[in-house]
Amino acid sequence: MDKPEFAAGPESHDVQLFAWEDIPWDDLAFLSNHWALHHYYESRDWDHFAPFGVPDEDVDEVSGRNT
């Protein structure tokens, strides 16, 4: 963040900042939010890494095979 102010935009209902251990995982809107945050946390100290994909445990759900 380049300034301390932040607010919900046209595609957000609510925005808040959380420490990692306080993230309300069950309240995140989309699986992709979980993936992005976990991928960031996993790779935050790496210099280089290949792009991440859909985690194996979520493939069926996002492909529609889990309905």
C-alpha count within 13 angstroms, C-beta hemisphere, residue 2: 0
Asked whether residue 63 carries a pLDDT value surpassing 80, the answer given is no
Give the position of tokens 């993230």.
Answer: 23
* Integer Cα distance of 48 and 63 in angstroms: 29
Distance (Å) of CA 26 to CA 18, 29, 58? 14, 8, 15
Q: Look at the pTM and tell me if it is higher than 0.85.
A: no
What are the residue ranges spanned by the domains of the chain?
21-63
User: Residues 24-43: pLDDT tens digits?
Assistant: 999 888 888 888 888 888 88
The percent of the chain in helix, strand and coil, each rounded to the nearest 5, is 40, 0, 60
Q: Is the pLDDT of residue 66 over 80?
A: no
